[in-house]
Amino acid sequence: MLRQVLFAKIHRAVVTDSNPDYMGSVTIDPVLLEATGMVVNEKILVADCETGARFETYVLGGERGSGSVVVNGAAAHLTEIGHHILIMSFADMTPEEMATHRPCVAICDERNGIAELLRYDPAPAEVARVSGSG
């Protein structure tokens, strides 16, 4: 059985711009993408820390080193410039894969630089197998 688990997260990125007339997506500085392993066109879940709004969209690559995090399309109505957002990607994994996967998390500073890069502990293999077999 495959389970959806956190693959990577960009934590507390600051929305630098929004473009409601664009066709969806979040444009992200490639420095943040490479640090976490996220890729262009990948599906993401975004949560606004100020309003609690959540939305799904996909990644576009921005200008390297710009610190850009631009919310495009209809989702631009769910957040504002200056808001902090969480950007999460997920992957389907077997219990064995879950036991070794350590999601990469980039914690952003106020300019969307990487203040800290960390990895979460993996799910214990016996827990992933037992809870998924019922």
Q: Are 116 and 36 in contact (CB under 8 A)?
A: no
Pick the catalytic residue from 58, 68, 131, 133.
58
**% of the chain exceeding 90 in pLDDT:** 89
Selection from 34, 13, 30 nearest residue 82 by Cα = 13
* pLDDT for 134: 47
pLDDT, average across residues 40-48: 98
Q: Are 14 and 83 in contact (CB under 8 A)?
A: yes
Alpha helices in the chain (DSSP H): 30-36, 95-98, 125-131
Based on DSSP, count helices (H) and strands (E) in the chain, helices before strands: 3, 9
User: Residue 7 above 60 pLDDT?
Assistant: yes
Please write the tens of the pLDDT for every residue from 9-26. Answer: 999 999 999 999 998 899
| Paired residues of 108 in beta bridges | 114
Assess whether 131 carries a catalytic annotation.
Answer: no
How far, in Å, CA of 119 to CA of 16, rounded? 26
User: Residue 69 above 60 pLDDT?
Assistant: yes
The CATH number, out of the four listed (3.40.50.300, 3.60.21.10, 2.40.40.20, 2.120.10.30), of the domain defined by the range 3-131: 2.40.40.20
Pick the catalytic residue from 25, 66, 68, 89.
25
pTM, full prediction: 0.92
Boundaries of every domain in the chain: 3-131
Assess whether 58 carries a catalytic annotation.
Answer: yes
pLDDT, average across residues 31-40: 98
Q: Are 101 and 68 in contact (CB under 8 A)?
A: no
